[in-house]
Amino acid sequence: MKAKEWAKHNPGGEKRVIVTKELPGNVWLDILARADCRVEICTSTEILTEDEIKSSIGERCDGCIGQLTEPWGEELFGALKAAGAKAYSNYAVGYNNVDVESATGHGIPVGNTPGVLTETTAEMAVALTFAAARRVVEGDSLMRGGHYRGWLPGLLLGELLRGKTVGVIGAGRIGAAFARMMAEGHKMNVLYYDLYPSRALEEQIAAYGEFLKSIGEEPVSCRRAETVEELLGAADVVSLHTVLDDTTHHLINKERLAVMKQNAILVNTCRGQVIDEAALVAHCREHPNFRAGLDVFEDEPAMKPGLNELDNVVIVPHIGSATTWTREGMATLAASNVAGILSGYPAWQDSDISPFLGGNAPKAAPSIVNAKELGLQVYKSEEPEG
């Protein structure tokens, strides 16, 4: 196996931090350099194996920034602990690839990068929705293949979404942002399923509905479904924004696909394993008017056999968060997590992480998912005197 190449930044730094992939921008490097870290970055585009990561950790490592494509479990956190590491940050908002319990057992804080992916990922879900609804990829292929012979009344007929129902499974930050975009931007009614009611989402869309009524238009609505099946049966578009855990693995399976409308659109920008991909392939073959837009895949980067042959599926390579601002912001947060812990800073507890994206960041680690379990000190802003 060919050895992976590594680049070094701030070689005179006292603390050693490894980063398993090159990250966008330079702000994150400056953050680590100011924390007296020398940074070693894997420049290979291949996914590192567990053994390669252990080898890169070596005998001494103070912190690490890893990727969602890597299985961070007992072996790797044990290696980090043995090397004297005090911090790990996932370069992602999700951390289903991280055994947080194992990290906590070794006393290692685990960071993630929330808050900067919300609008970007929601926009990708919107893009996939309309690409599928209006058969954009099929049209592009038709043109590039030289098969367009002129306008026809029945050429690539798609779906008009205005006034229809969008179903959102998982009404957290990204799901709620997507719901608002579809309601306020495209006048769709929202039906959402979540373990907890999203009063803020309901109130915001209700307020927009009142505005539409005031100008003589049909109002939009928003309500919470009692079951996943209720949502699937009623929605013209279903967008997945749930976490991945034992309860959501293959949440969309053969039986639930059968509940959906035959001309529905299924969009996934969360985690590939939420859909039984083989069942989706079979369903799309059987129902050519059913469409899907996928940014993530069950066996990523591989796809289930037949998926890439389907004209009624839009597929993109996990680029939901791929805007320059977002990816650089993720790097900033990941670096701030590691630098903050190595500098002895407390954990930030506010859900608003925007102060870390400006020029005068708080002296805190912005997002440590196991801060409470580790008993980390909580950041408190300075109270003005008097």
pLDDT along the chain (386 residues), means of 10: 84 97 96 98 94 96 96 97 98 93 98 95 98 98 97 97 98 96 98 97 98 97 98 98 95 98 98 98 98 97 97 97 96 98 96 90 96 94 44
> What pairs with residue 268 in β-bridges?
240, 294
**Distance (Å, whole) CA 279 – CA 257:** 8
Give the pLDDT of residue 57.
97
143 domain-assigned: yes
Give the pLDDT of residue 386.
33
Domain finish residue from 272, 299, 315: 315
User: How many folded domains does the chain comprise?
Assistant: 2
**In 10 A of CB 304, how many CB atoms?**
18
Alpha helices in the chain (DSSP H): 27-34, 50-57, 74-82, 100-105, 118-133, 136-144, 173-186, 199-214, 228-234, 254-259, 277-286, 324-342, 371-374
1 domain-assigned: no
Give the pLDDT of residue 343.
97
Q: What is the phi/psi pair of residue 90, to 5°?
A: -85, 135
Give the pLDDT of residue 381.
65
Task: State the pTM of this model.
Answer: 0.90
Give 101-105's long-range contacts (Cβ < 8 A, gap of 24+).
102/73, 102/74, 102/77, 102/78, 103/72, 103/77, 103/370, 104/370, 104/373, 104/374, 105/77
331 domain-assigned: yes
Contacts of 367 (CB under 8 A, 6+ apart): 111, 112, 113, 114, 115, 333, 337, 348, 353
Q: Does 39 share its domain with 183?
A: no
169 domain-assigned: yes
Q: Does 67 share its domain with 164?
A: no
Cis peptide before 219 (omega within 30 of 0): no
Q: Does 197 share its domain with 298?
A: yes
Q: Does 94 share its domain with 127?
A: no
Domain finish residue from 300, 315, 330: 315
134 domain-assigned: yes
Q: Does 36 share its domain with 145?
A: no
Give the pLDDT of residue 385.
35
Q: Does 28 share its domain with 168?
A: no
Query: What amino acid positions are annotated as catalytic residues?
Result: 271, 300, 318
Query: Torsion-angle region of residue 373: left (phi > 0), alpha (psi -120 to 50) or beta?
Result: alpha
Q: Does 194 share its domain with 296?
A: yes
Give the pLDDT of residue 382.
52
> What pairs with residue 356 in β-bridges?
none
384 domain-assigned: no
Report residue 116 as tokens: 């900067």
Q: Does 257 share its domain with 331?
A: no
- CATH code, domain with 223: 3.40.50.720
Q: Does 53 share its domain with 138?
A: no
Q: Does 216 share its domain with 153?
A: yes
SS3 content of the chain, % helix, strand, coil (to 5): 35, 15, 45
Domain that holds residue 227: 120-315
Q: Does 11 share its domain with 49?
A: yes
78 domain-assigned: yes
Spatial contact of 158 and 135, defined as CB atoms under 8 Å apart: yes
Domain finish residue from 315, 335, 354: 315
Give the pLDDT of residue 369.
97
**Distance (Å, whole) CA 121 – CA 296:** 12
Q: Does 212 share its domain with 335?
A: no
Give the pLDDT of residue 94.
86
196 domain-assigned: yes
